[in-house]
Amino acid sequence: MDPVRVCLWIFAASTAGTWLLSLATREYSWTDRIWSLTPVAYVWVFAAASGAAARVVLMAALVTLWGARLTFNYARKGGYAPGGEDYRWGILRRRLRPWQFQLFNLGFISIYQNLIIWLMTLPILTVYRHPGPLTGWDGGLAVLFLAALAGETIADQQQWNFQQWKKARRAAGQESGPGFLQTGLFRFSRHPNFFFEQAQWWFFYGFAVAAAGSWLHWTLAGPLLLSMLFAGSTAFTESISRARYPAYAGYQQRTSALLPLPPRRPRPAV
């Protein structure tokens, strides 16, 4: 079995399926709905083809844990329910002409995002082509991956708790403060969940470094493109938050965008 060929078929089916479903349902979060699922399929294809090589299976197991956590978090927010579309696509549709959004839907949401989903798992291809026993580097990378997974879990739980509290306050006709979370991990980073998500895939690439014994491989494209995707997504999300919440600009001034850091002191008035 050629795992690359099998994964290519998964990629083609995922891309075509998400695009066709978006046209049929007029919902544009189908790629979001498979984001935590198809990477698990990709890595286990390589694990099966490797004959259960230890490093490949370890990587597949870590991605499975990542996928389980993300699937749970996405499901409890209603992402898999009808109408569970990412609110940002609705905002973008209002900013673009219909034909422009449909080009964006095909080119970016379906093709490009599915390509990134595949590419971010491809460090496992480098490991598959460089078989060898587990080393201390693998153990260290696994610990770092799990630490980032725990950090993202905590950040998402804090965000979930805040959103549930805000919803309950609004249902009771009460004020909910500035409207966005700025305590817990969000006191040190405006997007700690984004930081830990990206960190996991950079640690995942580290297994390719450990297997091949060199720092640079073309499969670096996966985590690199993922970080670029998050940069654009973060900028778009923050533009929406600034428009919704007057206090968000002050939060931006005192809080790191991504890397968790101590809050900055307010600038003195001139």
In a domain? residue 85: yes
The three-class DSSP label of residue 211 is helix
In a domain? residue 24: yes
CB 45 within 8 A of CB 7: yes
The pLDDT of residue 13 is 98
> How far apart are the C-alpha atoms of 105 and 111, rounded to whole Å?
8
What's the number of domains the chain is made of? Answer: 1
Q: With CA atoms as reference, report the closest residue to 258 among 219, 202, 217, 204.
A: 202
Structure tokens at 60: 């597949």
In a domain? residue 265: no
In a domain? residue 259: no
What string of DSSP letters covers 195-223? HHHHHHHHHHHHHHHHHHSSS--GGGHHH
In a domain? residue 268: no
pLDDT tens-place values along the chain, 270 residues long: 799 999 999 999 999 999 999 999 999 999 999 999 999 999 999 999 999 999 999 999 999 999 999 999 999 999 999 888 888 888 889 899 999 999 999 999 999 999 999 999 999 999 999 999 999 999 999 999 999 999 999 999 999 999 999 999 888 888 778 889 999 999 999 999 999 999 999 999 999 999 999 888 899 999 999 999 999 999 999 999 999 999 999 999 999 999 999 998 766 544
Domain carrying residue 241: 3-254
The pLDDT of residue 267 is 63
The pLDDT of residue 171 is 84
In a domain? residue 78: yes
**Count of H-run helices and E-run strands, the chain:** 12, 0
In a domain? residue 116: yes
> How far apart are the C-alpha atoms of 180 and 245, rounded to whole Å?
8
Structure tokens at 134: 């587990």
CB 55 within 8 A of CB 134: yes
Residue whose token pair is 């640079």:
216
- Cα 109 versus chain centre, distance: 14
CB 55 within 8 A of CB 47: no
Q: Torsion angle, CA of 115/222/255/173, rounded to 10 degrees?
A: 30
Q: With CA atoms as reference, report the closest residue to 251 among 189, 209, 193, 167.
A: 189
In a domain? residue 90: yes
